[in-house]
Structure 1
Amino acid sequence: MSQPTVAARRRALLFPTLRGYRREWLGADLLAGLSAGAVVIPQAMAYATIANLPVQVGLYTCMVPMVVYAMLGGSRAMSVSTTSTIATLTATTLVSVGVAADSDDPIPDLMALTLLVGLILLVARLLKLGSLVENISKATITGVQIGVGATVAAGQLPKLLGETENFSGHGFIRSIVAVVEALPGANLATVLLSAASIVVLVVVKRWAPRVPGPLIVVAAGILLVALSGIEAAGVELIAPVPTGFPPPELPSPAHLGGMLPGALAIAVMALLESAAVARGIRKPGETQIDSNQELLATGAANAIGSLFQTLPSAGGFSQSAVNQGAGARTQLASIVTAVLAVLVALLLAPVLSLLPQATLAALVLVAVIGLIDIGALVRFWRISRNDFWIATITAVVGLTAGLLPAVAVGVVATLVVVLRELNRLRVVTEAVVDGVLPIRLEGPLYTANVLANENAVLSAAAENPGIRAVALELSRLSATSVTVLDTLADLDRELASTGVELRLAAVPAEGAGIARRTSWFAGLEAQARVYPTLDEAVRAPVSPPSS
């Protein structure tokens, strides 16, 4: 009897977007998968260069993570590979532990980082922390993205001038210095190719958004090298791309401790970006996005993908928008994209080796410029100065101290705002009725604010001399702790010492169940001082004071 139930649960867990699949959806999913692939494959290859990694790493990231997310993820149209934010944080993390400088083969360290990100997300899923991570505000994300956009854009400028090294992982200031150093030796042919690629990408994005601009630019760059010999004019090409799948390697444990802060930042941004994209493209009537399910799917995509030399992965907005715009109905479209990436790796590696570095740099530059959202800062200033300063400080820290400190500062600033809001007293005192003072606690009670609430109730009682009882509504006490209950017991004693009786009202069943484990609350119920509603607590007769 139990076996069918277990099997049913497994079926419900795997490929949730394919349940109830209709044959008429197949054509739309195939077209969407091919359309998204035309954008995401060249884009992911370009993002690999942000971290000074071979372009095939970006290509591999379009395979396994997409299939794993399709098996477990809840968004019908989200396309999962890497993003500019995550690629930049990956570059920063690898540089911070010395991988870029000390290692001839960064792939084992990349695998360890991606595996660490996946494990962090899976642990967060076990602890059901999806909703907790969502407390990180849009202002924090905007600040990080502005820092990422400016840092990556500055890091690509030397490549657009003919410099071969990428500086994004070294921060915004070092990238600007590299631009100044590269100017005297700028290669004219590279500059012209870069400018033409940027113009094509901007024009296509602005006036023909359904056309895969990245694919056009990549194909044009390859054809230019193959037919014109522009390489002889000093245009640098990417490193040769190996044919086939990644060779087996094991993750390196050498820098795990040093990479942990970066892995935490990447995990946070992976969930936030995935959740934002999934909710942003969700259509009315589709299943609501479950943050804990997204933790599982994104965590598994990273953990399993790490064994295949992938970058940390998350939902990307641009390819997901293309996927949805082309009519994707389910995650079958992502599986089609992954198959296309496999075919590219098997058949087109020699062709990809003709790709100019400047073409990929132009693709990255145009993609990340959109992250510098000054309009969002203006909106924050107009609506919420707190959000404005969180976003601004996060962006400034990202541009000066680095992106990992920026994520930390943004998260801490958001938590401070959340805690300040939770700690704000919401004690509402009503008019005294027959010697009973009604008080509503309209905010949650927890360890950090219960003493302040107790003092507020005692002050309200002191401001109403002659009262014989305080009726305290605790409708928000669904969950409680020993600290909270002990403080309420202390409030009872303090009021009793002044001849005032404490009555509790509207205590939720969950909170009352925990509170009954204390002798104080059990005694309160025995004395009939716990009431279903505040009105009943106020109307009940007051016992005469004991002599």
Structure 2
Amino acid sequence: MKVSISNSFRTPCDIIKMPRSRRPASLTLALERISNIGFADVKHWCLRRLPILSWVPRYSLQENLLADTVSGMMLTIQQVAQGVAFAVMSSVHPVFGLYSSLFPPLIYAIFGMSHHVSTGTFAITSLISAGAVERLVTSNKENVSNSSQGFLGLSDFEMQRIGVAAAVTFLGGVIQISMCLLQLGSATLLLSEPVVSSMTTGAATHVVTSQVKYFLGMKTPYISGPLGMFYIYHYIFSNISSVQVGALLWSLFSIVVLILVKECNEHFRSKIRMVIPIDLLLIIATSLACYFVDMENVYGIDVVGPIPTGIPFPQVPPMDTLTNVVVEAFSFALVGYTVSIFLAYNSAKKFSYRIDENQELLAHGLSNVIPSFLFCIPNAAAPARTFLLYNNGAKTQVACLISCLLVLLVIYVIAPFLYWLPMSVLASIIVVGLKGMLIQFRDLKKYWNVDKYDWVIWVCTYLVTICFAANIGLLFGVVFSVAVSIFRLTRAKTMHGIQVNEDLNEDIKAMHSEYCNKVKVVCVGMPLFFLNIKKFRTEFMEIKNKILSRNCLYKHKETPLLSPVTNGDCAGDVSSDDISTLIVDCSGITFFDFTGAATLAQICMELPNQGTNVLLASCDVSLVDALQYSGFNIKNQLFFDSVKSALTAFTSKERRTITLEALESSDL
């Protein structure tokens, strides 16, 4: 007995082997598309998704290598210092900051489109990650002292902490890749400059607050949540007697030296070929001083501590932790990408090349997903490192690749010597490195002089950021700026009067001057949709009333015997002599919705009964169709190609009217 097999149980190979006539239409179309893929299509896809393939073949060793090498060496100093510092800020062991300074820049150089963005550890993302780490793996003396030594010589406690940070890195990268697949890169249009500026300034304020304990050498509990920054300062001032004088002196000395030397580098940049690497010199000098004086034991100065050497073996992040870090992952994905894409925009504008927002999402997503298997904390582009590449004349991502090689050398050779680096010096390097974000307070003057609304957005977003967190500040800033824009749109003037063009014929201009009391030309300078249509109708009626009032006043002057009781009010029965004309230039209507089209059509039908004819000039074809489709019987005589055509029709009509009146007078 034969058993028939349903089509739903056929394998893909059986379906492909089916005759062409019996194949599903969707399968046939898919097979045709696959068969039409050629070498050119594959090459285009590779160049689009692997931007490194487009610029490496054109790389000029003679023109670019020296500048990229110098920039890479200077970048390494920043990567190492910030990597160690931001790892501590992220509540994980400092060595994981070195790993995060090696693998993410390497991956971004392959997939990223910006030539000057430097990815790696970042203060804001480290603070976000620290929230998850401190919440899920709390620190106390008992679990630290009783934990066994394991991988890389680190305790199980340290491995649990980096496991949480790696989970945040992995999930945040997955979110960014998902945004790329959904083509959400263009959503950055919602991010205005005041929002990003205030959010980053507020986040930098949080970072400075997190480093105050290292400035003063104090032991403070981890405090987060709403108004957490103010609780930190309250705790510090309440325990001000526990400040270590040695740590405070190191901090003051480091900040003064860093600011002075960096200002000299900036001031004399045109006269010296290479800036003074003050960060590296300060790290070496303070580490040697701390080692020979034994400040850790004699004065109780906190130091970085032991850092293991070598690269870890890849390990899958703890997947059971992902559900517990969803909030931090979303915050990190959005805030990190926001700062990164704005740095990419600035570099592309400065050096005249193009970037793709969705490709940047993919690049940053892969720069987080892949390194999460190598114990890396959340990373993003950092303003300080990117500006360092600008100032040192970097040309391409080769500078970042050279930096990766030097960071690898640090991990295997130099890392153990960072043991004696004082934490107060490291905190000073972090805070001075945030100078570019902190001085954005100066933008307030610019916003106040240009647009008071932007000033209000900046201040409100900054206050929300310092009171809560960077992610909440970013969300508030976007929503608040959109709300302000809608408010301004609904209150903005939709129409304005225009002068008669100079290219009109002298006869037309003369006729317009003669009958200026009966015609007015206005321009609609905004889209017509439900948010501003009420304002549009109000302004339209105000203009109509002014025309009628002016027309009535003109008639009273010409005919003194008319009764003055009307006070210029022409409402009621309207004679043919009272009818005025309003020419509307519709070239400024960039888009419209049904409400806008229906309201405009209704106005065109109502005003002739109230003493005003409406002529529409420069209407788009879609607007004409929408007006006729709105259910109103609009005559074709209302539409003109230009204001000139409408004025010509108006003056011709007036001439015919005068001629008829003259004929009637002669007959009488």
TM-score using structure 1 length: 0.83
2:295 matched residue in structure 1: 230
Q: Answer whether contact 1:437 1:538 (CA < 8 A) is retained.
A: no
Once residues 325 and 446 of structure 2 are traced to their aligned partners in structure 1, the CA distance between those partners, rounded to angstroms, is: 37
User: 2:601–2:632: 8 Å Cα contact kept in structure 1?
Assistant: no
**More moved, 435-444 vs 27-36:** 435-444
Q: Percent identity?
A: 23
In the alignment, what sits opposite 1:151? 206
Q: What residue number does 1:506 align with? A: 618
Match of 2:636 in 1: 527
Shift of 1:36: 1.0
Instruction: Pick 1 or 2: higher relative contact order, CA cutoff 8 A, min separation 6.
Output: 1
SS of alignment partner, residue 371 of structure 1: helix
Deviation at 1:330, TM superposition (A): 0.9
Asked if 1 retains the 8 angstrom alpha-carbon contact of 2:600 and 2:627, the reply is: no
2:521 aligns with one of 433, 438, 441: 438
Q: Larger C-alpha radius of gyration, 1 or 2?
A: 2
Following superposition, the deviation at residue 198 of structure 1 comes to 2.8
Tell me, yes or no, if structure 1 residue 176 matches structure 2 residue 285.
no
Find the residue that maps to 1:287 and give its secondary structure. coil
What does 1:52-451 correspond to in 2, within 5 Å?
A: 52-92=91-131, 98-99=135-136, 101=138, 105-125=160-180, 129-130=184-185, 132-164=187-219, 167=222, 169=224, 171-208=228-265, 210-233=275-298, 234-238=300-304, 240-246=306-312, 247-252=314-319, 254=321, 256=323, 259-260=326-327, 263-281=329-347, 286-373=352-439, 374-423=441-490, 424-430=492-498, 437-451=520-534
Separation of aligned partners in 2, 1:254 and 1:397:
29
- Distance verdict in 2 for CA 1:452–1:284, change over 3 Å: same
Query: In 2, Cα distance between the equivalents of 1:479 and 1:74?
Result: 33
1:122 touches 1:295 (CA, 8 Å); kept in 2?
Answer: yes
Report the counterpart of residue 23 of structure 1 in structure 2: 61
Residues in 2 aligned to 1:44 and 1:162: alpha-carbon distance in whole angstroms? 21
Gaps (5+ residues) in structure 2? 1-35, 144-156, 267-274, 501-511, 549-577, 655-668
Displacement after TM superposition at 1:134 (Å): 4.3
Residues 1:324 and 1:142: Cα distance change in structure 2 (over 3 Å) = closer
Aligned-residue RMSD, C-alpha: 3.8
Could you tell me how far apart the structure 1 residues matched to 2:207 and 2:338 are?
A: 20
Q: CA deviation at 1:427?
A: 0.9
Counterpart check, 1:539 vs 2:648: yes
Measure, in 1, the Cα distance between the counterparts of 2:281 and 2:527.
56
CA separation in 2, counterparts of 1:505 and 1:358? Answer: 70
Write the letter of the residue equivalent to 1:113. V
State the alpha-carbon separation in 1 of the partners of residues 222 and 188 from structure 2: 30
SS of residue paired to 1:464:
helix
Greater CA deviation, 531-540 or 127-136? 127-136
The CA deviation string for residues 323-356 of structure 1, in whole angstroms up to 9 with x for no partner, is 2333321111112222322333334443334433
Give 1:208 deviation, angstroms. Answer: 3.8
Q: Which letter maps to 1:34? A: M
Letter in 2 for 1:457: F
Cα distance in structure 2, aligned partners of 1:336 and 1:22: 16
With 411-420 and 132-141 compared, the bigger mean Cα shift is at 132-141
Which residue type is aligned with residue 5 of structure 1?
A
What amino acid maps onto 2:97 in structure 1? G
TM-score calculated relative to the size of structure 2 = 0.70
Write the distance in 1 (CA, Å) between the matches of 2:133 and 2:305.
20
- Aligned with 2:437: secondary structure? coil
Contact 2:176 2:365 (8 Å CA) reproduced: yes
2:79 maps to what in 1? Answer: 40
AA aligned to 2:78 is: V
Deviation at 1:172, TM superposition (A): 1.8
Q: How many residues align?
A: 538
Structure 1 pair 254–482 and aligned structure 2 pair: CA distance change class (3 A)? farther
Q: 1:461 to 1:276 in 2, by over 3 A?
A: same
Structure 2 vs 1, CA of residues 472 and 294 (structure 1 numbering), >3 Å: closer, same or farther?
Answer: farther
SS at match of 2:38: helix
Give secondary structure in 1 for the equivalent of 2:276.
Answer: coil
**Inter-partner Cα distance in structure 1 for 2:521 and 2:222:** 64
Q: Which residue of 2 aligns with 1:7?
A: 42
C-alpha change, 1:355 and 1:5, in structure 2 (3 Å) is same
With 77-86 and 477-486 compared, the bigger mean Cα shift is at 477-486
Is the Cα–Cα contact under 8 Å of residues 618 and 640 in structure 2 kept in the other structure? Answer: yes
Paired with 2:523 and 2:411, the residues of 1 have a C-alpha distance of 65
Q: Which residue identity is paired with 1:205?
A: K
Q: Which of 473, 477, 480 is 2:585 aligned to?
A: 473
Are 1:190 and 1:358, in contact at CA under 8 Å, matched by a contact in 2? yes
Deviation at 1:248? 0.9
Unaligned 5+ runs, structure 1: none
